[in-house]
Amino acid sequence: MADDAQAINPFETAKRQVDIVADLLKLDNGNREILKHPKRELTVNFPVRMDDGQYRVYTGYRVQYNMARGPTKGGIRYHPGVTLDEVRALSAWMTWKCAVVNLPYGGAKGGIICDPKHMSKGELERLTRRYASEIAPIIGPEMDIPAPDVYTDSQTMAWIMDTYSMQRGYSVPGVVTGKPISLGGSEGRGEATGRGCAYVIREAAAHAGVKVHGGSVAVQGFGNAGSVAANILHDEQHAKIIAVSDSKGGILNPEGFNPHAVEEHKKKTGSVVGFPGSKPVTNEEILETKCDILVPAALENQITKRNADNIQARIVAEAANGPTLPDADKTLYEKGITVLPDILANAGGVTVSYFEWAQDIQGYFWDLEDVNRRLEKVMTQSYAQVHKTALEYKVHNRTAAYVLAIQRVVDAIKIRGIYP
């Protein structure tokens, strides 16, 4: 993490973002206060039997930030650094992300303070099932629908779905998304984030006068989101992928390389580093590579006020959550770089999660072509709405995305009225 990113309480950041947009929208104090408070927070402390026969008590959270627009949606994170304020912030950001792509959802997030890298599969299963049982009173297809996040995956979702279903006495696939296909998961979910990001890049490039066909692309973080974005930009939009990286380092070839071959190399060797015909670059250098499109797809806080001035891309598409710090954002804007903010650029994942839930509820499943066609429509329309909002309010895309999202949430609050 960059020095200037340390000691920032994420929930304070989330509330500050609300204030900025509330000023722009001239919101009254009542609505402003509603938007700065999570609706419901559950803390659970629960014992888990470890492999050595001892019991350990774990703490978990589930925060449902705002449900004015529909049931809440958001991932569950397993990490030693989970805090209630982090979960609150993430649940707020999920609220805005769902609203910016106009899904009929509010936002939520969950987490357990634990160290999954040092737990056996059996311990993780018992942890997951007990946590699922503890939060069961407040989740469900009509109420709050969890999904995978950091160090949770489709297996975790399968355990939650099973635990919840056992308590109900019948199968409830729509209680979580990100499930294996055999349990009611959706076609296309695995690549949805990268694919959605590539669609948004295509739309933004057309507005910014940047050619994707033959244009150069650098991707920091060649994981799920980053590698899929690179593959689609290469295969479908004919861009040149000139630089990619992972936690072990990066590679560069100004002539471009085939991202599928890089993926194969990474599968075989564990890293993109050493790919034939490439020159090694560091993760810092990759951000400053001369290219048309930069896709930060690794960690948060990568573009800071120290390197923002050195960014040479014309478009920065945030596949990762929170890769750009606020000071850096200002610099990028002043340099005339088009930033596609995370809540828009990586919303393809939650969009196909929404499709998964819709398919589960209908008990009728779509093919991959259908899923991708609908995803393309959502991402294209959402980009157009963010762009229009940016022009209307004379703000950059990040603020525009927040304005659009928060306006939608406020509209729902107002038209519903305050109970009783």
**Least distance in Å: CB of 109 to ligand NAD?**
12
CA distance 102 to 314: 27
Residue among 48 and 286 whose Cβ is closer to ligand NAD: 286
Strand ranges across the sheet with 144-148: 40-49, 55-66, 106-113, 72-79, 144-148
**Least distance in Å: CB of 25 to ligand NAD?**
26
Binding residues (CB under 6 A) for ligand NAD: these are 193, 220-226, 245-247, 283, 297-299, 319-321, 346, 349
200: its two tokens? 């948004």
Residues whose CB is less than 8 angstroms from the CB of residue 312 and which lie 6 or more positions away in sequence, other chains included: 288, 289, 290, 291
**Least distance in Å: CB of 99 to ligand NAD?**
16
Give the residue among 297, 292, 104 at the shortest CA–CA distance from 193.
297
Residue among 31 and 342 whose Cβ is closer to ligand NAD: 342
Residue among 32 and 195 whose Cβ is closer to ligand NAD: 195
Beta strands in 95-178 (DSSP E): 106-113, 144-148
Alpha helices in 316-396 (DSSP H): 326-334, 342-345, 348-362, 368-393
**Least distance in Å: CB of 115 to ligand NAD?**
17
Is-contact 402 370, C-beta < 8 A? no
Residue among 125 and 246 whose Cβ is closer to ligand NAD: 246
- Residue number with the smallest Cβ distance to ligand NAD: 223
Residue among 283 and 312 whose Cβ is closer to ligand NAD: 283
Per the DSSP assignment, residues forming a β-bridge with 241 are 217, 257
**Least distance in Å: CB of 48 to ligand NAD?**
25
Residues whose CB is less than 8 angstroms from the CB of residue 263 and which lie 6 or more positions away in sequence, other chains included: 222, 227, 231
Residue among 27 and 98 whose Cβ is closer to ligand NAD: 98
Q: Among all residues, which ones are annotated catalytic?
A: 109
Per-residue b or e along 161-177, where b marks 16 or more CB atoms closer than 10 Å to that residue's CB: bbbbeeeeeeebbbbbb
Is-contact 305 327, C-beta < 8 A? yes
**Least distance in Å: CB of 304 to ligand NAD?**
13
Q: Which phi and psi (to 5°) does residue 252 adopt?
A: -135, 140
